[in-house]
Structure 1
Amino acid sequence: MTNSIIKIFNIILFLALVSKGYSQCSLHDIHISQKQTGATIHGKKEWSVTIANWCSCYQSNVMLNCKGFQSVEPIDPQFLKISGNVCLVSNGQPLFRGVTVFNYAWDKPFPFIPISSKITC
């Protein structure tokens, strides 16, 4: 009887920890910052974008709202693939606690907003 109770307790504890791991992370853990590089490309300011995952789990297939995004500087699609109003970060590869950086050139910084990701712990 005691053995069964311990097994049930361990199973419940395991499930609680697994579910907590998945609920720890969210799109709020994707942090995007921008700063001017000081360069000018075709009369537009160049901006350096840093995208970081601050969660202990990794997030893949990170999508950003890119509606209205423009750049006179080409962007390597390996870092930011633009498809209509949505942008895919790092070719969909997992963002561990790492960072993705790319540059673009426009008059002012664009407000990149994460809209979806796949979280894996």
Structure 2
Amino acid sequence: MNSDTQYEDSVSVMVLENIKNKLLHAFRTSGEPRTSAETATYLVNVDKSLQVNEELRRAKIDGAITWLRSELLEMRSQDRQLAQTLLGLNKEIQRLRRENGSLLLEPDSSEHLET
């Protein structure tokens, strides 16, 4: 073996060892212990994820509350319109009752003509 071939072999071995270490790190099972730096990074990522989820949850709740408020305002407006309609109908009924009652109390002009 010449020196060039020996050099290429040692470089290949180092490259393969580096790839092996990267693969082992990437596919490490959760049961293996982590270094303190890995644990700290993991905890920071988990904390950020929890914060993002909390913000999303709050945004959804705020959106739901806003929708409920708009629905309640619309219902209030419809209630007022309905109340005005019912009050108008009640006034009309009372007016018709008064007119009908006064017609019943008045003597019928046709009776006077027969007598």
Query: Using CA pairs below 8 Å that are at least 6 residues apart, which structure has the higher relative contact order?
Result: 1
Larger proportion of helix: 2
With the length of structure 2 as denominator, give the TM-score of the two structures. 0.31
Larger proportion of strand: 1
With the length of structure 1 as denominator, give the TM-score of the two structures. 0.30
Mark the structure with the bigger radius of gyration: 2
